[in-house]
Structure 1
């Protein structure tokens, strides 16, 4: 099964809210239907390995790297799959950058934002479906990877990712923390319908 451009499903939201787990389940369900799936991974750890600051230390440079590298990885994945699953859509990086500035009590540089925002907004048109995870503060920050354990910053990241989506009027659905089964079934149905040429929401 081939399509002119892959159906692209992206998940975003603050850390330890189930993005990677949901995408792994989604990939499994789609592959069971013999759909070719490519996954574009979260770039946070790679950024950290090459020496870029992440989380509440994010800078303009680290944010631009994550956005542009993410776009590049997504475009490469377009060549190899019917469906591309993105772990952290590009608005996520902008939300984290704004959260980092708020955490450090720094004013955003209007010139920096004016160069990042059009890039994020334009590329987001390529996402057929975006799902934003919802934060349950009672769920602890996961220890399966090295990451910030600061719960205050996790709340700020949740707030600013949501704010970026709403300010840019980017359509998205919520991925609740208390169970992914309904969202999984809905996303599988959405994706298979798009592959069949049916125009369905959002």
Structure 2
């Protein structure tokens, strides 16, 4: 990964593992240091509004839409003048969710479709300066407003980290431990401030 303009930081991980909160913390630190960050997100909600399946019902089509919408959101944020873009769901995240959904349902897709989605996500990987990957802590409570299937949530976590390993994507793992979260925020801030000073 190489530093680009604007700086791009992507977050991956299972639902309710602190991705959005992590993005908000980084955003707050950046604003406090005079930078102009933009945070993308709510792609899952927008997919549902467009009639696309999500979570354990993900399909190739919904995954492709999520990746493409995420790419469009990042481009739009850059066009609006952000010097740091925080992508709450980096492109490969959608593939991990699909892989988990397929395993959950006991289904497979043709290799050609899987390769096509991986290629689409991989075209964006060099544009990211930092990837943060949250780690599922099953002891942490999930908000009652969510009716997430616990088995699917575990599968998503497994597939996120398997994908990061098999695709050899440099990343920082972020656990529920406060020190781990603080370290991730500090790394993101250090990267951005260093780039801004060049």
Task: Please give the range of the TM-score, normalised by the shorter of the 2 chains.
Answer: over 0.9
List alignment gaps of at least 5 residues for structure 2.
Answer: none
List alignment gaps of at least 5 residues for structure 1.
Answer: 198-202
Secondary structure of the residue that 2:123 maps to in structure 1? helix
TM-score, scaled relative to structure 2: 0.93
Residue aligning to 2:62: 62
CA contact (8 A) 2:6 2:84 kept: yes
**CA deviation vs aligned residue, 1:106-161 (integer Å, no higher than 9, x gap):** 023212112111111121111100000011111122345xx442111000000111
Aligned pair count reads 193
Distance 1:99 1:188 in 2: 32
Is the deviation greater in 101-110 or in 176-185?
A: 176-185
Residue aligning to 2:19: 19
What is the CA-CA distance between 1:75 and the residue it aligns to?
1.0
Distance 1:191 1:4 in 2: 11
What is the CA-CA distance between 1:4 and the residue it aligns to?
6.7
**CA deviation vs aligned residue, 1:68-106 (integer Å, no higher than 9, x gap):** 111011111112211011101000000000100000000
Residue aligning to 2:166: 167
Residue aligning to 1:9: 9
Distance 1:148 1:60, change over 3 A: farther
Residue aligning to 2:39: 39
TM-score, scaled relative to structure 1: 0.91
Residue aligning to 1:200: none
Distance 1:184 1:45 in 2: 26
**CA deviation vs aligned residue, 1:149-181 (integer Å, no higher than 9, x gap):** 211100000011111111111111111112122
Residue aligning to 1:149: 148
Q: Let me know the Cα RMSD of the aligned residues.
A: 1.5
Q: Kindly indicate which of the two structures has a greater share of residues assigned to helix.
A: 2
